[in-house]
Amino acid sequence: MNFTGRRFVPTHPNIVELDRIGDEIAELSAHLDAATARLLDLIREFDTRGGWNNGFLSCAHWLCYRVGLEMRAARERVRVARALGTLPRLAQALARGELSYSKVRALTRIATPETEERLLKVGLSGTAEHVERIVRGWRRVDRKMEVEETARRHKNRALHVYHDDDGMVIIRARLEPQSGAVLIQAIAAARAALWQRASANDAADGPAGPQSVEGSAEPRYQDGSPEAPTIEQREADALALVAETALHRGIDPGAWGERYLVVIHVDAAVLADADAPGQSVVEDGAYVPAETSQRLACDASRVVMRHDADGRITEVGARTRTIPPALRRALEHRDQGCRFPGCGRKFGQGHHIRHWAHGGPTTLSNLTMLCRRHHRAVHEEGFQVRRLPDGELCFRRPDGTPLVESPPLPPIAPDPIAVLRERNAADGIQIDAQTSKPGWLGERLDLGYAIDVLHPAATGERAMLR
Ligand SMILES: [Zn+2]
Ligand SMILES: [Zn+2]
């Protein structure tokens, strides 16, 4: 017999069994999503309370290290965890296993407390692909608004300088956020420098105080007035110092290692013995904590001054680098970035494992690269590093516990899925194979229409976003 016409695909003989597996996949995925909600709650709490802030750069770096997440995934978890803190409806839908983590991740890129409700509906009714497309379309509208906003700010930047009747100079400025941030930083740094000079001078003014060898640095606000300067006066002094410094240094930010000049005062009588007391390392500007000046001195320029018994300078040496450029290149090549466990940042400073001021040699075996954050950790926060006889580095926390490069994951129960189901059930979360099924009935997604009815810019709520 010959059959012509339509052919039907026969029903799979194991359809019942396969449907059961499919249901189990859907159900278990919903359980995992519910558990992810709990995980994100914990990450948010850990992040806000600074639980990672014991030698790690961020909560994401800690997650990479402790949980073995890849960096991008770790950053994403932290971002979603933070976002869910202000988006309770999306958080609850994830915790009930109704909305998948993929959808929540996409929706939290655009959702605000004002738009959360309608975006939750999008999440519940659409497939993950619909949600992804709506989020992309939404962001295009956002970006357009952002570009307009940035252009408006850029256009409105201005600086007005004019003279008042009494000869004072009045400055009025509107700066773009990033330029403004730089100015604020510079003024803060100048204020700190002025404060340091003032306290150095106070100390030198004492009746039996040592002679100031630099001699020239007058505090800017020792203007003879009996009262301490106000905050506004200090800010004005700091701004003047920023301007002077910029002109003096040729408006050049300079390379790392050139920014700090370390002046070492050496007692001529004890010079012969490197370990003898009497040597001191003083960072220019002085009176910073010893740990800080040692950190700055680790990788800086230095000048050696020799004193006689009366404290008079007998010899001033040439300016040299504590780590010569060729050795520094070798160090960078060997270490390839920060060596602190779990860090790996590309740029760093050379750290003397045994400080040169304590007789440590400037050799590759006594040096290691550390990023700025971790250089501070070993000098000022009590973290320790030493090199083992086999050449490996050993880092320890301030309490002495070793920091291993990659910690083992904690042991889990023999049947983690049963535990997960029990825990979700105990929390009153009811999950079955239908829990995370979208309400979509197969109609085509009209993206333009969807954005028109959803986005606040299109629905006339633009003012709400400001
Ligand atoms: Zn150091
Ligand atoms: Zn580091």
Give residue 281 CA to ligand 2 midpoint distance, Å. Answer: 25
**Nearest ligand by distance to the CA of 343:** 2
As a whole-number percent, the residues of the chain with pLDDT over 90 amount to 28
Note the pLDDT of residue 112: 93
Mean pLDDT score, 447-456: 85
Give residue 249 CA to ligand 1 midpoint distance, Å. Answer: 26
Place of tokens 């110092």: 241
Q: What is the pLDDT of residues 35-60, one digit of tens each?
A: 999 999 999 999 999 999 888 889 99
Which runs of consecutive H residues, i.e. helices, occur in 156-209? 177-205
Q: What is the pLDDT of residues 264-283, one digit of tens each?
A: 565 544 433 434 444 444 43
Give residue 356 CA to ligand 1 midpoint distance, Å. Answer: 10
Q: Report the DSSP pairing between strands 367-370 and 349-352.
A: antiparallel
Give residue 218 CA to ligand 1 midpoint distance, Å. Answer: 30
Rounded to whole angstroms, how far apart are CA atoms 305 and 314?
7
Give residue 365 CA to ligand 1 midpoint distance, Å. Answer: 14
**Nearest ligand by distance to the CA of 338:** 2
Going by the DSSP 8-state scheme, the letter that residue 277 receives in this structure is B
Give residue 385 CA to ligand 2 midpoint distance, Å. Answer: 13
Give residue 295 CA to ligand 1 midpoint distance, Å. Answer: 4
Q: 265: part of which helix (H) or strand (E)? A: strand 261-267
**Nearest ligand by distance to the CA of 385:** 1
pTM over 0.75: no
**Nearest ligand by distance to the CA of 370:** 2
Q: What is the pLDDT of residues 336-379, one digit of tens each?
A: 999 998 888 887 889 999 988 778 888 999 999 998 889 988 98
What is the residue type of 29?
Answer: S
Note the pLDDT of residue 227: 74
Asked if 192 and 238 touch (Cβ cutoff 8 Å), the reply is: no
The pair of three-digit structure tokens given for residue 462, joined into one six-digit string = 């633009």
Rounded to whole angstroms, how far apart are CA atoms 322 and 301?
6
Residues with Cβ within 8 Å of residue 407, at least 6 apart in sequence: 65, 66
Give residue 347 CA to ligand 2 midpoint distance, Å. Answer: 9
Categorize the per-residue pLDDT at 205 as very low, low, confident or very high, splitting at 50, 70 and 90. Answer: low
Rounded to whole angstroms, how far apart are CA atoms 61 and 377?
15
**Nearest ligand by distance to the CA of 322:** 1
Q: Where are the domains of the chain?
A: 15-152+427-465, 169-248, 261-403
Note the pLDDT of residue 268: 46
